[in-house]
Amino acid sequence: MKLPGFVKRPTIGMDIDREAIKAVQLVRGEDGYTLQHVGYHRLPEGVIVDGEVADSELLSREIRKFWELHEFRGRSVVLGVAGNNVIVRFVDFPRLSPEDLESALGFQAEEHIPMPMEDVILDHVVLGPSTENPDDDHVILVAAHREMISSYTGAVREGGLKPVGIDVKALSLTRSALPEDLFDDEDTTLLLDVGTEFSNLVVVQGRTPTHSQFLNLGLRNFVASVTRSADLSQDEAERLALEPEANISPFTSESGLSEDPGDDEPGSTTYEITEPLYIPKFEEATEGGEATGGEQDDAEKEAGEPREGTAPEPEGGGSGGGLDPALVYDIRRGLEDAASRLAAEVQRSVEFHNSRPSAREVSRILVSGEGALVAGLGGYLEDYLGVPAGLAKPTGRLVANTSNVSDEQLAQMEPVLAVALGLAMEE
């Protein structure tokens, strides 16, 4: 949705959630998008709660601090929103002129939006002719609580930036996470971004989104489950939940990777994540305006010294020496408990979509977000739902990377940048 009084220039996408600010700047050329800058900044606890701004003053300070550490060009940003105070509905309306349709939606929105109309900001997008009635248009109707939008835009302005647009995080995935070579009217793809607090889900049939939902499950739920199952502190659980050894995919790779130490457990495989990815590394990788890595990192690794901002290796080993098999079993048990709850929610969305008239069954699932860093999550979802699943590749939409992060670092950060990339690609 556009913000009144601003020219829409979607070059910087800013994804703010409970854990961090993630921002990317793109420039669009004839061949496609070039990545110019990437920023990641951890937020203190209590700034964002349940998808809404809980401490506007603190968020503004954190935005200023974040911006001072980076070299973004300009200050115009497109924001993303998600949560219980954002409603997305897909409705069919008689074909009308843009002016008449806007007026009709204003009158009839209360039939579809379970919030007082005076408290919300409405927007809509016409997707094209309805598959059920060619004389109707299929329309996305979006409503967001006015106070929620004001809190975000106010904090961003106080932080020295100019909010020029707002989009629903789930819908932004249709621009970044949906591969161009899968654009086929027979394909139906479920995009799932497992964030730190919420998961954003959208079903796309061909090129057209048909269902969107916010799930109250995220990486924090995985960490909490590991904390209980393995009797760990939250910091330890957050780090170990991302260990490749705790892979929860039931599929064994052909390369014959190490077996799960648990009795009657399936083999363990690394599901596209080849090393532990501690979230603090992302902040370190983007600060300073120049790509990190290279000789200095190699020297530090040889010296055995951890880089600043990364978690220390666990006692008795780590990703290099191996974790205690009993600990791995407990971590995996916690991860599987959270994954099963997430998979059950996703299954309900799949069944809802598949039950609709003219719907084609979901044929693939693509996962992004912080939760995608849990090794084997895609394989777990594939086994649970019986639908092929894997990692989304939002950087596949880029033709070049001239940013402050190397290609290797970008590949590691890619899952958590899906929403920010989609916001920056807003058309």
147 — phi, psi (to 5°)? -65, -35
Question: Can you give the pLDDT at residue 183?
Answer: 52
* % of the chain with per-residue pLDDT over 70: 81
Question: Tell me: the pLDDT tens digits for 348-369?
Answer: 999 999 888 888 899 999 999 9
Q: Render 125-178 in DSSP notation, one character per residue.
A: EEEEE-SS-TTEEEEEEEEEEHHHHHHHHHHHHHTT-EEEEEEEHHHHHHHHTS
Phi, psi of 319, deg, nearest 5: -65, -25
Looking at residue 399, what is its pLDDT?
A: 95
Q: With CA atoms as reference, report the closest residue to 41 among 413, 368, 307.
A: 413
Cα–Cα distance for residue pair 57/47, rounded to 1 Å: 9
**Residue pLDDT, tens place only, 212-254:** 999 999 999 999 999 999 999 999 999 999 999 999 999 854 3
Per-residue pLDDT tens digits for 17-30: 999 999 999 999 88
Confidence at 182, pLDDT banded by 50, 70, 90: low
Q: What is the pLDDT of residue 24?
A: 97
Q: Report the C-alpha gap between 56 and 43 in whole angstroms.
A: 12
Span 327-343, pLDDT tens digits = 999 999 999 999 999 99
Tell me the average pLDDT across 185-203: 92
Residue 310 pLDDT exceeds 50 = no
Instruction: Report yes or no: 232 and 328 within 8 Å, Cβ to Cβ.
Output: no
pLDDT at 110: 85
d(CA 383, CA 250): 7
Pairing label, strands 20-28, 33-42: antiparallel
Among 20-24, 63-67, 115-119, which stretch is predicted with the lowest mean pLDDT? 115-119
Least confident of 5-9, 49-53, 70-74: 5-9
Output the average pLDDT for the chain. 83
Contact criterion met (CB below 8 Å) for 189 and 388: no
Using the predicted structure, report yes or no on whether residue 75 has a pLDDT greater than 50: yes
Q: Are 360 and 188 in contact (CB under 8 A)?
A: yes
Residue 320, classified by CB atoms within 10 Å of its CB into exposed (0-12), middle (13-18) or buried (19+), is exposed
Statement: residue 181 has pLDDT above 90: no
